Chains A and B, each alone.
Chain A
Amino acid sequence: MTEQPAPAKLELLVRRDDDEDFELRQVASVVGYLNSRPRRVESYEISELRSRVAGSPGFVLKNTTTDRFLLLSAHERFLWDQMNGATSLQEIATAYVLQYGEFDFDIIPSLLRKLQRAQLLTFEPRSRLRQALARNRDRRIVKAIELALTALERIRIASTNVHGFFQRLYRYGGFLLFTPAAIVACVGLALVGAGAAVLLFREMHDVLEGFGGRAMLGIVTVKLLFFGSVALHQFAHGLACIHYRRRVREFGFTFLHGFVPTFYVDVTDIFMASRRARVVTAVTGALVHLVLGGVAFIVAAQAPAGSFTQAFAAASGIIQWQALVIALYPFCFIEMDGYHVLVDVLGVPTLKHDALAYVKGLLNGSARVRLGREEGLWVGYVVLSTLSVAAFIAFNVWIIVSATS
């Protein structure tokens, strides 16, 4: 038997701005594979094939240009629907697990082979934004944006050897977070914190006056402290993953989308656990903000009226609870914890993508209005998300205006 060769690797030298400085990167072919975005061809027809013998339906896929036919299972049909040129193979695999609760390691490569043979597939580059920026590099502003994004994307501090650390963290106290006593304490703090917040809200103007002439400095410091709580949020996700005996693959710091600084933890192994485990893992991180916000409001309520401490604690409480809402509220165009719970429960892993594509089609006239359940879900998602984002921005503007006026 011939031994399978190791994945091919390219060694690349990436120059920095000062021209002599550089970074060496080994890029394995598997990285390219996971980031590739297969796109189905435009000219195809698909129809259901009901069988009296087989329990589940099959599908016949026809390339109308070449007149070649292909038989797909329901699972393959699902994968075919994801191959829109915008979704990477890694995302498609995640969607598959969310949809079917299991993963077949052969199904995607074998389907790709079948589709390529039938000339039903093309591949798209990794990022359309980066492609557009590269095309317009001769414009100074575009080049500056591209350089800034590249520089930020390079900043990634991560370790893939963290599972043992999280196991120890769980063993030496982390397990307490998953006991009934922790739930009672969490609810208690939230209720007392909410009571304190209501009291403070009635005198919000006086409370925020505690910043005095240092309002912006206060708000910036509160934001920086909040950044630390994002790390705690990720720790909680990791501990939940350990609680369900799954593996924490990675923990680190990076710039999300090239410009949002954030900590992250890779708990994708939880996809192999039960839905309950997935929901608990998603929600646990957000509860960190509930607890910290509750504590902050209690401190603010106990602090001398109009003091800097009171203003600082109240602002921290507001930001923590905002983070709680953003993390758990699924309608804000951001794929946070609540969104993942929603798509898991609904069984529509590509909700945001499909909703945006449909509404965009309605707006530019390329899609027709339909009155199905799916279309209702898509329109509802976009409308709710738009209103929510507008309300969120208005609330923050009001907070800043109140604090600075």
Chain B
Amino acid sequence: MPASAATLAFLRDVRVFEAFADPDLAAVADRLRERALRRRQVLFREGDQGDEMFIVRQGTILISKAVTGKVEQVLVRVEPADFFGEMSLFDGSPRSATAQAETDVELLILGRENLQSLTETNPSAAAAFFYAMVQVFMERLRRSTQQVAEATRWGLEATGLDVETR
């Protein structure tokens, strides 16, 4: 079924589709599936198998990683027009974190098979997609590095550990 004008307009705001020409974007939009989550519904858990990435159309998704017992660290809040789950899309590895709806959420889903068919039928669109994805990966790597530094700072401040003059 052809994607609606609203979906196409929304995809224009999604980072990885910014460089797409209109026909390419329409081709991608036709391959996306929709899914709704109610507030607090778990989409997937850390360790689950997966081969899809998700684009948040509406609402907020919490991405968290288990720390101890029932406690998880919130890694990021995924807001509308942002996406997550792309690691499993590429390498098919188990989910590295848990995704859960913080509010009622509407998602668009891109599966690995659809990405492969896009690569075969529309290489230029696929290239734009991968180029944008690499940029996003680099940004996320920087953010992860920042999070490690913040967690280390938390530990030092919480214990009052004096490492400057030791």
Contacts and interface: CB of A to CB of B under 8 A. Distances in A.
Nearest to A35: B158
A275 to B, nearest CB: 30
A21 to B, nearest CB: 6
Nearest to B162: A113
Contacts of B74: 11-13, 24
A30 B158 CA distance: 6
Contacts of A36: 158-160
Contact of A13 (B73, B161, B162): B73
B154 A10 contact: yes
B159 A12 contact: no
B160 A13 contact: no
Interface stretch (B9-17, B61-69, B78-86): B61-69
A10 B159 contact: no
Contact of A29 (B42, B64, B71, B153): B153
A140 to B, nearest CB: 16
A113 B42 CA distance: 45
Interface in B35-68: 40-42, 62, 64, 67
A28 B100 CA distance: 24
Nearest to A150: B70
- DSSP majority for the A interface? mixed
B72 A8 contact: no
A22 B70 CA distance: 9
A32 interface: yes
A116 interface: yes
A20 B40 contact: yes
B157 A11 contact: no
B165 A12 contact: no
Query: Quick one: which of B62, B73, B154 has the most chain A CB within 10 A?
Result: B154
A20 B157 contact: no
B127 interface: no
Interface of A: 5, 7-16, 19-22, 24, 29-33, 36, 89, 109, 112-113, 116-117, 123, 134
Interface of B: 40-42, 62, 64, 67, 69-74, 100, 150-151, 153-162, 165-166
16 contacts: A5-B153, A10-B150, A11-B73, A12-B67, A13-B64, A13-B73, A14-B72, A19-B42, A20-B40, A20-B42, A22-B100, A32-B158, A89-B160, A113-B165, A116-B162, A123-B159
